[in-house]
Structure 1
Amino acid sequence: MLRYALRRLPSALLVLLVASVLVFGVLRLAPGDPAVVLAGPDASPATVAEVRASLGLDSPLPAQYWTWLTGVLTGDLGTSFILGAPIATLIGHGLGNTLELTVAALLLAVAGGGAAGFALGTARRPAVRGLLGGAVNLALAVPPYATGVLLVLVFAVALPVLPASGHESLLADPVIGAQYLLLPAVCLALPTGAVLARFLATALRRAEQEDYVRTGHGKGLPRRHLLARHVLPGALPPVVTVLGIQTGQLLGGAIVVEAVYAWPGLGQLLLQAVLGRDYLLVQDLLLFAVAVFVVLQTLTDLVQARLDPRVRMGGAG
């Protein structure tokens, strides 16, 4: 397993390097100038040039990229152009709130999606399969911003039982914090849970058609025993891969959900940085998101290799 993990390391580092180049380059193609934003619309060209020089934006692009990359590698993320605070502090504060939201959403997605997928994949009645399949497709089809508004209208306006927006730390007040957390976590969990449910249902049906399962049926073994001991373990490896990908994509969905519910996480911070043309903060946030996705994908591959030795054997070739 250690050798398999070490073989994955070079490709992960290459992905991060390519991502850093793309993030840096694409941002420079976007319209707008942070020097103009900071100097103000009525600033003279000399003032804008002075601000641009103070930010280091008058240097050649390769020099700007190298300065940023070496800073990231040494842990010096720099200072936000717009907010005027150390970027490491801003990311650290927003990361805690985003982790709180994404972990809660992930738990809800695994629990709800796992239960729905197992029921959908093992149900024998067409009416039950149709009802569950329709619910899963609906959760997958409706975008998070529409789901978020609908949840607010129902549970914060029509039935005022939960707050419409805001945040309270679970550590400070678990009861109030859970009330603020529930709606955004459900909104973020619905599409991820729906994807997991569909893949799990498909994997269960495929596993149930394997010869060893049919042999078990022929020997008179109870279906419940076969599902628990053979069908479900055989269906888990591809679902684990999907779970790893979806966990990474929760960060992207958190941007929309945090905007709907005014959740002070990395999504809100990224939106603020983009609107302010804060190149350095946007670069650090995007590269951090890519790094998290790469780490999650690598861990997912390791878990899948543990569940299915054929993965390690294929990687050895």
Structure 2
Amino acid sequence: MTGFLIRRIPSAVLVLFATSVLAFVLPRLAPGDPAAAVAGPDATAEQIAAVHKGLGLDRPLIVQYWHWSIGVLHGDFGTSYTTGRPVTTLLADRFGSTVQLALAAALLMIVIGVALGVAAGSSRRPWARSLLDVTCTVLLATPAFLTGLLLALLLGVAWQILPVSGEVSLLADPEIGVQYLLLPALALALPQAASLARLIQSAMRQAYTEEYVQTAVAKGASPRRITLRHVLRNSLATALVSLGMRLGELLGGAIVVEAVFARNGLGSLAVSSSGHRDYLVIQALVLLAVTVAVLLQLLTEVGLSLLDPRIRLEGSR
């Protein structure tokens, strides 16, 4: 495992470096001037120019990037243009809310995805397979924000089972916090659960045709034992390959879902920062998201090697 990590570190560093460059350059290509947003709508050209200089935006881009990247290496992402607070403080204040949402959505994704995938992959009834296929197709075709709106209308407005918007910290009041968390987590998890179910279903159907399964059938093993011990284990190993990517997509989808359910997480921070052209906050959010994705991918590969001994971290079978 140590050798695997040593080999992966250079590529991970390269990915993060490329991300930092793109995160720095792309926001500046969009129309708008953060100095104008900070100065206000009634500011004169001289006042905007003064703010522009005060924020250091008058310096060459390469100089700005150099100072920002050096600060990032020391854990300093700069100071927000609009709030005047350190970017790390802003991220820390919102990080817990997004992590709660992402973890809850990941748990629901795994439970629902595995349940649907196993049901579709092991069922011998054509109508049941067709029903599960249609269900997964509908969930995949429905965007997360639309799923959230439909769930809010059904469970929040019509049936009044769960609160529609806002949030309560799980640490402050776990019971109430779960109620506020369930709807956005479900809206975020359902499309990814459908994708995971499709992958497990396909892997299970393929596994039933393998020789080791046919051998188990010939030896008289029960269908339950064949499914749980042989088919499902190998199918989950296949699904685990994409699990890290699914978790990364959950973090990306949290931006939209948090806006729909008025949660005070990183997603709402990204939306407000984009509107005010707060470059430093946007750069930090993008870099944080990619860093988490890289770490999840590494953990996924390690977990896959532990689940399936035939796969080695060195990349050989």
CA distance in 2, matches of 1:268, 1:303: 32
- Which residue type is aligned with residue 187 of structure 1? A
Partner residue in 2 for 1:176: 176
Q: Higher mean Cα deviation, 187-196 or 303-312?
A: 303-312
Shift of 1:5: 1.9
Secondary structure of the equivalent of 2:312? helix
What CA deviation, in whole Å up to 9, does each residue of 1:119-146 have, x standing for no partner? 0011000011011111111111111111
Map of 1:119-268 to 2, 5 A cutoff?
A: 119-268=119-268
Shift of 1:178: 1.2
Partner residue in 1 for 2:30: 30
When normalised by structure 1's length, the TM-score is 0.97
What CA deviation, in whole Å up to 9, does each residue of 1:249-288 have, x standing for no partner? 1011000100000011000000010001000110011111
Partner residue in 2 for 1:295: 295
Contact 1:5/1:302 (8 A) holds in 2: no
- Which residue type is aligned with residue 157 of structure 1? V
Partner residue in 2 for 1:14: 14
CA distance in 2, matches of 1:62, 1:285: 20
User: 2:108 matched to 1:108?
Assistant: yes
Which 4+ runs in 1 deviate beyond 6 A? none
Q: Higher mean Cα deviation, 24-33 or 41-50?
A: 41-50
What CA deviation, in whole Å up to 9, does each residue of 1:150-196 have, x standing for no partner? 11111121112211100001111112111111110110110111111
What are the ranges of 5 or more consecutive residues in structure 2 without an aligned counterpart?
none
CA distance in 2, matches of 1:82, 1:27: 16
Identity within the alignment, %: 50
What are the ranges of 5 or more consecutive residues in structure 1 without an aligned counterpart?
none
CA distance in 1, matches of 2:297, 2:24: 23
RMSD over aligned Cα atoms: 1.4
Secondary structure of the equivalent of 2:167? coil
CA distance in 1, matches of 2:222, 2:197: 24
When normalised by structure 2's length, the TM-score is 0.97
Secondary structure of the equivalent of 2:264? coil
CA distance in 2, matches of 1:86, 1:55: 14
Q: How many residues align?
A: 317
Contact 1:4/1:316 (8 A) holds in 2: no
Distance change (3 Å), C-alpha of 1:310 and 1:69:
farther
CA distance in 2, matches of 1:115, 1:25: 43
- Which residue type is aligned with residue 41 of structure 1? P
CA distance in 2, matches of 1:148, 1:228: 34
- Which residue type is aligned with residue 227 of structure 1? T
CA distance in 1, matches of 2:5, 2:307: 15
CA distance in 2, matches of 1:316, 1:56: 50
- Which residue type is aligned with residue 140 of structure 1? L
Shift of 1:314: 5.6
Secondary structure of the equivalent of 2:119? helix
CA distance in 2, matches of 1:313, 1:253: 30
User: 2:62 matched to 1:62?
Assistant: yes
What CA deviation, in whole Å up to 9, does each residue of 1:21-52 have, x standing for no partner? 11111111111000011112232222111101
Partner residue in 2 for 1:76: 76
- Which residue type is aligned with residue 168 of structure 2? E
Shift of 1:9: 1.2
Secondary structure of the equivalent of 1:312? coil
